[in-house]
Amino acid sequence: MMLLACDDEAALAAKLATALGCGLQIIGRHGFPDGETRLRLPPACPPHTLLLRGLQQPNGKLTELLLAAAGARELGAERLTLICPYLAYMRQDMAFTPGEVVSQRHLGRLLAAHFDAVITVDPHLHRVATMDEVVPGRRGVALTAAPLLGAHVARAVPGALLLAPDEEAGNWVRAAALPLGLDHAVCHKMRHGDREVDVALPAIDVAGRAVVLLDDVASTGRTLAAAARGALAGGAASVDVAVTHALFVGDALAQVHAAGVRQVWSSDCVPHPTNAVSVVPLLAAAVAGLPDSKPRWRG
C-alpha cells in the first residue's frame, strides 16, 4: 500500500503514512504560465493506492485530483482510495432556487467514477443519510472529529458550556458534549448574505460561564463572531472556538478574535496555525476498516 499526497499536505501525509505503516510519495507538481499543471507520480503504484487530498480552495485542486487518480490507475493502482479530510461542495445539497446545480450530487458522482472508496471528516450531510449515497456504488466513509475536539475542550476549559452557533451544528455539538457530560445548547442563526448573519442565543444562562463555540467549518468567521458577541453580551466569562475545518478565508480569524474570542482550536483536516487536534488516528482506522474486496472500478 502506498500513500500519495501533494507537498502542501506533506505534514499530515507523513503522520498518516507512519500510522498506516506504508510508504509515502509526494506528487510532483509544476505550474505552467498558462495555469495548467504537470503532475509527476512514482513510476509504479501498488494495487491498493491511497490518495490524500483535502479540497479547501477546491477548483484548481479538483483538476489535479482527477488527473492524479487517472495517472495512478495507469501506473498500476487497482484499488484507489481517496482520503479527503475536507470535502468541498457538500453544502449545496439541494436546489434552493430553480436552476441551481446541486453540487453535492454531481461532485459525488464524479468522485465515484474515479475512486473505489472516499474517506472524509465531518462532511455536510444534512439531507442524505450516509456518504455511500454521495458516492453511489462506492464505499463512502464519513468520520467526525467532534469527540476529539470535545475532549480537547474538556482538558483546556473544564466545565465549559458548548454552544453550536446554528442548528446545522446541533448534532455535531451533541456528539462532542455527551460523552464527556458537558452542558451544551444550540443557537439560532439568521443568514442575510455570505458575510451577514445574526445569531440568537438559546434560552440558557451564560452569565459567568466559560463558553466554547463548536462548529464543523469556519469559513468567513461571521457566524462564530456573531455568536461570540452574543455570549459575551450575555455575561459569559470567556468565549473560545473549536472547529473541524479551519478555512478562515481572508480576515476571518481576525474578525473572530475581534469579537472577543480568546482561543481558537482546530483539527488538522485543513493545515492552519490553529491546528490543535489530529485526525490521523481516525483516518488510519478508517483505512484499516475498508473491506479487502476486489475493486469495482472498470475504467
Catalytic positions, please?
189
Partner residues linked to 81 by β-bridges: 50, 117
For the record, the C-alpha cell of 217 comes out as: 467549518
- Beta-carbon contacts of 65 under 8 Å, excluding residues fewer than 6 positions away, are 51, 53, 55, 82
Pairing relation of β-strands 139-143 and 161-164? unpaired
**Exposed, middle or buried: residue 109 (CB in 10 Å: 0-12, 13-18, 19+)?**
middle
Look at residues 247, 252, 251, 292 and name the one whose alpha carbon lies nearest to residue 267. Answer: 247
Dihedral (C-alpha) 215, 216, 222, 228: value to the nearest 10 degrees? 10
Look at residues 121, 138, 116 and name the one whose alpha carbon lies nearest to residue 16. Answer: 121
For the record, the C-alpha cell of 47 comes out as: 494495487
Amino acid letter for position 82:
L
Q: Is the dihedral of CA 295, 297, 298, 299 positive or negative?
A: negative
Number of C-beta neighbours around residue 128 at 10 A: 18
Number of C-beta neighbours around residue 73 at 10 A: 17
Rounded-to-integer distance, Cα 153 and Cα 29, Å:
38
Rounded-to-integer distance, Cα 284 and Cα 141, Å:
12
Q: CB–CB of 3/25 below 8 Å?
A: yes
Rounded-to-integer distance, Cα 64 and Cα 41, Å:
12
